[in-house]
Amino acid sequence: MVSLVVNGCTDDPPTQGVPSVSAQATSPRPATPTTTPEPVRLPEDAPALSDVIPAPESARPAKDDNFALTKQSDISVADGTRAAGDYLADVLRPATGFPLRVVSGEDNAGGIQLLLREGGDPQDESYRLEVARDGVTLSAASQSGLFAGAHTLRQLLPADVERGETVDREWVLAGGVVEDQPRFGYRGAMLDVARHFFGVDVVKRYIDRVAQYKVNYLHLHLADDQGWRIEIDGWPRLTEVGARNEVGGGKGGFYTKQQYREIVAYAQSRGVTIVPEIDMPGHTNAALTSYAKLNCDGTAPPTYTDTKVGFSSLCIDKPVTYDFANDVITQLAEMTPGPYLHIGGDEANSTKDADYRAFFDKVLPMVVKAGKRPIGWHEYAKANVPRSGVVQYWRIETADAPTRRQADSGRRVLMSPADKTYLDMKYEESNPWGNSWAGAVDVRTAYEWEPTKELAGVGDGMVLGVEAPLWTELVTTEDEIERMTFPRMQAIAEVGWSTQTKWADFRQRLAAQAERMTAQDIAFHRDSGVPW
């Protein structure tokens, strides 16, 4: 049995004079040893620095610098780094069974130290992760950089770390230095909770699972023809009536404001920012069934539980429409600390162009006034998009003139081409489940594309990032969410983060993720293009 030498002591039973944690918890930590611990053997199943997904910018292994995490290891945090420290403790404690105390302090002897570089730009997600014999140091310019480094650190522990129960084994990290930063600042997932409703716990698991691959935004599609999913003060029928359905006639559901805030807080604890979407003026049958006064003819249409699109529209000429829009936007913004609010705008086939433009001329200023940057599906590019606005491209054509015009005038473009990123699509034509209007999207298709070359004239410097939407007309259970999302999410995450993307290399690293996903109880799809 190899006795772990950490921090100058052996990690044998206390008879060797190593104080137990409880003793240490009260007495001050032993002084940082002057002698460097002996090298530690790396277990067979410990990942290499280069196994991480998304691929880091640079990874320099140092084979004699492996680090053994032990029950003596602390996570020391300085000002502003506690959130990432708490995250690491949260994800590493269950399987290791170690206390992994999060302590304020400036040393990493035998443990993990998180450091924030002075005067760093909050948008700078770069980080440096150094694993050495005597301790691990993660430094970054911002909180989001620390979270990125923490996700990498999580992946450098063996897959056993993802099991929910304690595993009695060595927890050794491969020595070396990772220096990393993302190509795009926005790497997003989207969950449509309107077609089929999914509760808080499902959303939290989704957040944790996508966050580990440095996905840093979760867009929640909170309303559509089939369902309204968020409580709005002053408009109780949106949830009393509009939330009572879903595709296929299920019972539906909604988030109270408190539950929405719980989702937002949980996302923040994983370094993920929530982007709420209320789709307007189309995709609004659930709101229209809830309030007759929102309809031009004053009559509420029947509830809708099928899957057609483009038939509904708010009444553009009625002032009450703008009271409604303003209340929704203001209240959603108040509950959302993130910079973005998604206003929808897609498939408004029942809204005349002039009305569509008039609608957004009134509503987009509401989003800006609420302190948010509007995101809209790319059809809204024909409206007056504010300078801070983002155009989310979602179709399969290789050109879109209004989107190009907005990009030329400085509006950023979020790339979600359906034939590359739509997770509701079948992996292969032969799959019995999934959509096919955009063609089959297997993992390789989701991986081998270049976000700055998908749309004519929308190139470098214009693309904000990538997002993989999961529409749920055909998705009714959490298992189906997992199957449609994983492993294509890892492909999208790497396209958004890494500069070097080579399928031959990625597919090998992806195959190695199988054990981690299984340990996390993710019912992922064994795509035939990956050497599982």
- Among all residues, which ones are annotated catalytic? 347
The alpha carbon dihedral of 40, 41, 44, 49 has a sign of positive
Q: Is 67 in the site for ligand IFG (CB under 6 A)?
A: no
Q: Is 143 in the site for ligand IFG (CB under 6 A)?
A: no
The residues, any chain, with a CB within 8 Å of residue 285's CB and separated by 6 or more, are 224, 225, 226, 301, 303, 304, 311, 312
Confirm if 150 and 84 have CB atoms less than 8 A apart.
yes
Distance of closest approach, residue 468 Cβ to ligand IFG, in angstroms = 12
The alpha carbon dihedral of 209, 78, 94, 38 has a sign of positive
Distance of closest approach, residue 250 Cβ to ligand IFG, in angstroms = 17
Binding residues for ligand IFG, total number by CB under 6 A = 9
The residues, any chain, with a CB within 8 Å of residue 523's CB and separated by 6 or more, are 479, 482, 483
Q: Is 246 in the site for ligand IFG (CB under 6 A)?
A: no
In the window 285-344, what residues touch ligand IFG (CB under 6 A)?
A: 309
- The nearer residue to ligand IFG, 116 or 348, going by C-beta atoms, is 348
Q: How many C-alpha atoms does 309 have within 13 Å on its Cβ side?
A: 13
Distance of closest approach, residue 451 Cβ to ligand IFG, in angstroms = 17
Distance of closest approach, residue 435 Cβ to ligand IFG, in angstroms = 5
- The nearer residue to ligand IFG, 183 or 342, going by C-beta atoms, is 342
- The nearer residue to ligand IFG, 59 or 484, going by C-beta atoms, is 484
Confirm if 302 and 249 have CB atoms less than 8 A apart.
no
Distance of closest approach, residue 166 Cβ to ligand IFG, in angstroms = 42
Which listed residue (235, 422, 486, 524) binds ligand IFG by CB under 6 A?
A: 422
- The nearer residue to ligand IFG, 390 or 517, going by C-beta atoms, is 390
Q: How many C-alpha atoms does 94 have within 13 Å on its Cβ side?
A: 13
- The nearer residue to ligand IFG, 127 or 198, going by C-beta atoms, is 198
Q: Is 467 in the site for ligand IFG (CB under 6 A)?
A: no
Q: Which two tokens stand for residue 191?
A: 């969950």
3-state helix, strand, coil in the chain (%, to 5): 35, 20, 50
Q: Is 245 in the site for ligand IFG (CB under 6 A)?
A: no
In the window 333-392, what residues touch ligand IFG (CB under 6 A)?
A: 346-347, 377
The residues, any chain, with a CB within 8 Å of residue 290's CB and separated by 6 or more, are 228, 235, 237, 238, 240, 241, 242, 300
Distance of closest approach, residue 434 Cβ to ligand IFG, in angstroms = 10
Separation between Cα atoms, residue 387 and residue 265, nearest integer Å: 29
Distance of closest approach, residue 247 Cβ to ligand IFG, in angstroms = 10
- The nearer residue to ligand IFG, 37 or 434, going by C-beta atoms, is 434
Which listed residue (127, 228, 356, 394) binds ligand IFG by CB under 6 A?
A: 394
**Helix 353-369 with 319-334: angle, nearest 10 deg:** 40
Separation between Cα atoms, residue 47 and residue 266, nearest integer Å: 28
The alpha carbon dihedral of 309, 311, 312, 317 has a sign of positive
Q: Is 471 in the site for ligand IFG (CB under 6 A)?
A: yes
Residue that the structure tokens 């298709």 belong to: 445
- The nearer residue to ligand IFG, 309 or 512, going by C-beta atoms, is 309
Which listed residue (424, 442, 454, 494) binds ligand IFG by CB under 6 A?
A: 424
- Whole-angstrom CA distances from 84 to 79, 144, 175, 270, 304 are 11, 8, 21, 8, 43
One-letter amino acid identity for 502?
A: K
One-letter amino acid identity for 365?
A: P
Distance of closest approach, residue 231 Cβ to ligand IFG, in angstroms = 22
Q: Is 440 in the site for ligand IFG (CB under 6 A)?
A: no
Site string for ligand IFG, 1-30 (x = CB under 6 A): ------------------------------
Binding residues for ligand IFG, per CB under 6 A?
Answer: 309, 346-347, 377, 394, 422, 424, 435, 471
